[in-house]
Structure 1
Amino acid sequence: MDNPIDPNTTPTAQHITCEIDERGVATVTLNRPEVHNAFDDILIADLTRVFTQLGNNQTVRAVILAATGKSFCAGADLNWMKRMASYSYEQNLNDANNLAKMLYTLNTLPKPTIARVQGAAFGGAVGLVACCDMAVGSKLSKFCLSEVKLGLIPATISPYVIQAIGERNARRYFTTAEVFSSRRARRIGLLSEAVTEEELDVTIEGLLEHILKNGPCAVSAAKKLVFDVANRIPDEALRHTTSELIANTRVSAEGQEGLSAFLQKRRPNWYLS
């Protein structure tokens, strides 16, 4: 049985750190620099638990995913891969399901998420970046969907990477396993911004300044709205659903506060100066 999660505490984990500042901005940092923050089963379990806890914490308003050292994440850990080589089908399936659960938890986290990418982001790391709502990368960063070099495929990360970069680009980079630059990553949609390493934090801070001016419940609902509406035809059912959504938000406590603040020309009560 999973351990119960207390949403009011700061998460702790073996291979990552998590800090929540006074604004409610949580920074989750991959902390295995000696192996370029490579994935293993422990790191995957840590991330799943921490993402879940942050999603349940009502004081958290945004989440940054960062990493220590020269690389954001080098993909699968070598020792983990050695163990997987001798796994049975059932053990491999369980391992893959755990990774898929972690990626889904990050992708659907009910807070805006920002990936802070420096150095290499290879293999599963591209999935992490794709699962975040925004991604700011260093101009020196390199990316690679390297699985086919090992006779494998990027299966568990594929839904998120394809959504981020599109089918045609996925067909190229899934099959060539070529390394591509942050400039290219920006062009195909994997990165939101590509900046100098010195500009990483100030660029992320600029995004946070915008997010923190907005209604927390509205931000969460707006993110969910994208999942609910994307790729749907605007038929009568969808029109009715979206009309219900805006009506509900207008009469909600946050919606009423936002409208009142606008009409009274004052800052709403969630605004952080």
Structure 2
Amino acid sequence: MTFEHILYNVTARVATVTLHRPEKRNALNGAMVAELRTAFSIAEKDTNVKVIVLKGSGEAFCAGADLEYLQQLQKNTRDENLADSRSLMQLMQQIYYHDKVIIAQVEGHAIAGGCGLVTLCDLSYAVPDALLGYTEVKIGFIPALVSVFLVRKIGEGRARDLLLTGRLISAQKAEYYGLVNQVVPAAEIAEYVAKIADDLCSGTSANSLKVTKKLIAGVLDLPLGEALEGAAQRNAETREHADCQRGIQAFLTKEKMKW
């Protein structure tokens, strides 16, 4: 499928989704959001894809909402703005609950909605010069949708700091806060992320990754007792899955498992 605002390709079981509006610093608009939703749907259904890498073209990862897009929003009706907000909400849910591991490769600034995309990914790696932050309050807007996920990811106190001040933080501070997993030199990040993706593809069960993601996503939604009971149920179900049976057999016979 051909896209206008993103690039999509699959190599060695890794789908790479690239935000591709470098002249606009990969800023988000309605069309790009729609294309991202399509790309993530394609990757989820593709049995040849096990891991997804999200990155940006050019100098920025993503500069947030496009200025022309913001101007259009001012002319929208309440219903039109609600429909647009729900489209972005659906993209965020899609990334957060996706069956496959999604890695953010942040090789430039990730601002506002761009930082929101980083927040949603399972794993995130950034170059030292990248700045990250949620600047919505500085233009009279609010970081409404991302706040739901950011509080889960880094806790209420740090989320308040970033969302209320709208300040940009360094990649190193983002790592300290738990917003990104690691800061990697610019010359090494592509190879580093490719190695992480390859290790996931070759060294882990696709079913185990999917179920583990569901466990993590659901654990905060339930009282402790229900969360534990749900975990016990998934534990029992996974023991019956072919991946688990093959993996345990390989472990017992000291054979290297090829997933």
Instruction: Mark yes or no: TM-score above 0.5.
Output: yes
Inter-partner Cα distance in structure 2 for 1:165 and 1:241: 24
Inter-partner Cα distance in structure 1 for 2:97 and 2:222: 18
Greater alpha carbon shift after TM alignment, 101-110 vs 223-232? 223-232
The answer as to 2:215 corresponding to 1:225 is yes
Q: Which residue of 2 aligns with 1:21?
A: 11
Aligned pair partner of 1:91 in 67, 80, 91: 80
The TM-score with structure 2 as length reference comes to: 0.95
Inter-partner Cα distance in structure 2 for 1:209 and 1:56: 19
Matches within 5 A, 1:167-246: 167-212=156-201, 213-230=203-220, 232-235=222-225, 237-246=226-235
Query: Hey, which of these two has a bigger chunk of helix by percent?
Result: 2
Q: Could you tell me which amino acid in structure 2 is paired with residue 65 of structure 1?
A: L
SS in 2 for 1:29: strand
Q: Which residue of 1 aligns with 2:2?
A: 12
Q: Which residue of 1 aligns with 2:34?
A: 45
Deviation at 1:140, TM superposition (A): 0.3
Asked if structure 2 preserves the Cα contact closer than 8 Å seen for 1:12 and 1:50, the reply is no
Asked if structure 2 preserves the Cα contact closer than 8 Å seen for 1:145 and 1:154, the reply is yes
Q: Which residue of 1 aligns with 2:71?
A: 82
Deviation at 1:259, TM superposition (A): 1.0
Q: Which residue of 2 aligns with 1:62?
A: 51
Inter-partner Cα distance in structure 1 for 2:58 and 2:253: 48
SS in 2 for 1:116: strand
Number of residue equivalences: 258
In 2 relative to 1, CA 254–71 (structure 1 residues): closer, same or farther, beyond 3 Å? same
The answer as to 2:97 corresponding to 1:108 is yes
Aligned alpha-carbon RMSD (Å): 1.5
Inter-partner Cα distance in structure 1 for 2:45 and 2:222: 28
Inter-partner Cα distance in structure 2 for 1:244 and 1:172: 38
Q: Which residue of 1 aligns with 2:120?
A: 131
SS in 2 for 1:64: strand
In 2 relative to 1, CA 54–92 (structure 1 residues): closer, same or farther, beyond 3 Å? same
Q: Which runs of 5+ in 2 are unaligned?
A: none
SS in 2 for 1:113: strand
Q: Could you tell me which amino acid in structure 1 is paired with residue 45 of structure 2?
A: N
The TM-score with structure 1 as length reference comes to: 0.90
Asked if structure 2 preserves the Cα contact closer than 8 Å seen for 1:126 and 1:161, the reply is no
Question: CA offsets per residue over residues 84-126 of structure 1, 9 Å max, x none?
Answer: 1111111111111111111111111100110000121111011
Aligned pair partner of 1:161 in 150, 153, 174: 150
Q: Which residue of 2 aligns with 1:7?
A: none
The answer as to 2:135 corresponding to 1:150 is no
SS in 1 for 2:55: strand
In 2 relative to 1, CA 238–35 (structure 1 residues): closer, same or farther, beyond 3 Å? closer
Inter-partner Cα distance in structure 1 for 2:155 and 2:3: 34
Q: Which runs of 5+ in 1 are unaligned?
A: 1-10
Deviation at 1:233, TM superposition (A): 4.3
Inter-partner Cα distance in structure 2 for 1:114 and 1:161: 16
Greater alpha carbon shift after TM alignment, 39-48 vs 13-22? 13-22
Q: Could you tell me which amino acid in structure 1 is paired with residue 154 of structure 2?
A: I
Deviation at 1:229, TM superposition (A): 2.4
SS in 2 for 1:70: coil
